[in-house]
Amino acid sequence: MTERVIPLLDERVAAARPPLPWVLETPTGHLADTLRRPLRDLRISVTDRCNFRCTYCMPREIFDKDYRFLPHGDLLSFEEIVRLARIFIHHGVEKIRLTGGEPLLRKDIERLIEMLARLTTRSGAPLDLTLTTNGSILARKARALRDAGLRRVTVSLDALDDTTFRQMNDADFPVADVLEGIESAAAAGLAPIKVNMVVKRGVNDGQILPMARYFHGSGHVLRFIEFMDVGSSNGWRMDDVLPSAELPRRIGEELPLEPIEANYHGEVAERWRYRDGGGEIGVISSVTQAFCGDCTRARLSTEGKLYLCLFAQSGHDLRALLRGAASDAQISTALAHIWRRRGDRYSEIRSAHTVRLRKIEMSYIGG
């Protein structure tokens, strides 16, 4: 039997170890890259495993029963994650989002949240600590997550129609359980809840209005995300992208909308408010309307590789420094050197050539 070669496996082990700096720096909190973008947002993947097999993220034909996930010893420990988080905060990070895979599958995730919740920003303010989940086990975890110090949660939900939802998650998982998770999170105080819907033309675009109707007036923020060319396994084609500019028009014909300002500099979602006071929606247009110029996000993979873009081809092995006896000052200075050289702007330069490049899978570094 011929063993299948999966590009993701090579990408996971191929990150370069940053050189140890000779001259150490004291972080100022004002680190900027080549495009003058500061470092403000850190996304940490805590597991490469997921109980869904969404066709745009972890298609079953690749992530099957024989797929080799990372062994536990390769994952960053909670102590290593917190150590790196503290270093990133010294450089100006104010928000940390835990992702996966499915982060709630990481054993004792509440303990990690409790450890991170003790951290504060450089100004002494509470860290904006949030988590993205598929919602499958959120109902039984929500209260413990909030008690541990989690502030907010984002739930991925691609359809209200149960048949469509099961088709997309490819795990025969019912939509009712995710909706129960959303309500449990709201009851626990994990608010405002954001609900992310990846829209794929011809697959679930018929669910746009039903989703808008369901969450209208709920207090939750529904966000529509264009189907993106992340990684190499999801079979992305431009024909499958429904331009997000169409969404406010479609929804607005039934539920009138008006645009509103961003909450903060670098927010990825374009915001729209219901004119009747029924809340808001967001549209994320990383294919048709690039927002690279405001990107302040870094991504840390499950086993400690630093990626500077969701569409990156390679990373920087911070775990090698952690486990190689580097000091915090050395890791901090190495991070500063990496960020200052950052020039990533994939969505602005997307072309037929870049789409064909092998890129890190979204399930590996989080969305």
Neighbours of 138 (CB within 10 A): 25
How far is 256 from 156, CA to CA, in rounded Å? 24
- In the prediction, which pLDDT does 36 show? 95
**pLDDT higher than threshold 80 for residue 354:** no
DSSP per position, 130-152? EEEE-STTHHHHHHHHHHHT--E
pTM above threshold 0.75:
yes
- C-beta separation of 100 from 303 below 8 A: no
Q: Return the SS3 of 62.
A: coil
Homologous superfamily of 7-365: Aldolase class I (3.20.20.70)
- pLDDT tens digits, residue range 203-228? 899 999 999 999 999 999 999 988 76
The residues spanned by each domain of the chain are 7-365
Residue-wise pLDDT for 96-135, tens only, equals 999 999 999 999 999 999 999 999 999 999 999 999 999 9
**Residue pLDDT, tens place only, 270-325:** 899 999 999 999 988 776 666 677 889 999 999 999 998 876 777 899 999 999 98
Which tops the pLDDT comparison, 128 or 355? 128
Phi first, then psi, for residue 66 (nearest 5°) are -95, -5
